[in-house]
Amino acid sequence: MLNTYYKHFSRFALAIILAFGSTFLEAKDSPTASELVSITDAWVRQTNPGQEVGAAYMTFTSKQDLMLVSVESDVTDSIEIHNMTMENGVMKMRMMENLLLNAGKPYKLAPGGFHLMLFDLKKPLVAGEQVNFVLHFKNNMKAQVGKKKNAPEFKQAIKVMVKVPPEEASH
C-alpha cells in the first residue's frame, strides 16, 4: 500500500513539475513589446498656453507584423491615432482604429502624416519636459492566419521629450 502511495505521489509531483516547467518555457518564449518594437525619433510638440490639443511623433520598427491598437499618457486621457493628408489644397484628418506595422519596415509618425493626437490636455506641454506613454500592440491577425483570435497584447512604456517643432513642420 505504501508503495502504491509513493508511486502515485511521484507521478503527481512529476506532473506538477512538467506543468510549471512548460508554463515557464512558454512565458520565456513570449517576447516583450520592447523586444518586438524599436521606437526612435520620438518627440511631442510644444503647445501654447490654453491649447488643449497636442501631437506626438515617432518611428516604429517592428520585428513582427503587429498593430498599434491604443496609447495612454500621463498628460491626457484621450489619445487617437490620426492620419493627415492634403487633397486639392485641403487638409484632411482622419482617426484610425489601429496602425499596422509590417515586420522590418520603419513606420514614421511625422508632421503632415500619421501622428498621435492628444486631446483635452491636462496642462500645456512645455519644451524640455517629458511625457510618459504606454503603447499597446497586438499581433496583426490578418498577416498571421491560423493564430488565436484573441491575440496577446504587448505594452511598451516610453518617455518622450517635448520639443519646439522644426519650422518646416506643418502640423
Domain edges within the chain: 1-30, 32-163
C-alpha 34/C-alpha 154 separation (Å) is 9
Region of residue 104 (left: phi > 0; alpha: psi -120 to 50; beta: else) = left
Instruction: Give the residue carrying C-alpha cell 492634403.
Output: 86
pLDDT tens for each residue of 69-112: 999 999 999 999 999 888 888 888 899 999 999 999 999 999 99
pLDDT tens for each residue of 24-66: 444 445 566 668 899 999 999 999 999 999 999 999 999 999 9
Question: What cell does 38 get?
Answer: 524599436
38: helix, strand or coil: strand
Q: How far apart are the first and last CA of the chain?
A: 80
pTM of the model: 0.74
35: helix, strand or coil: helix
The whole-number pLDDT of residue 1 equals 55
163 in Cβ contact with 138 (< 8 Å): no
The whole-number pLDDT of residue 34 equals 66
Select the more confidently predicted residue: 10 or 49.
49
C-alpha 32/C-alpha 37 separation (Å) is 9
Read off φ and ψ for residue 81, nearest 5 degrees: -85, 125
Options 3.40.50.970, 2.60.40.1890, 2.30.30.170, 3.50.50.60; CATH of 32-163: 2.60.40.1890
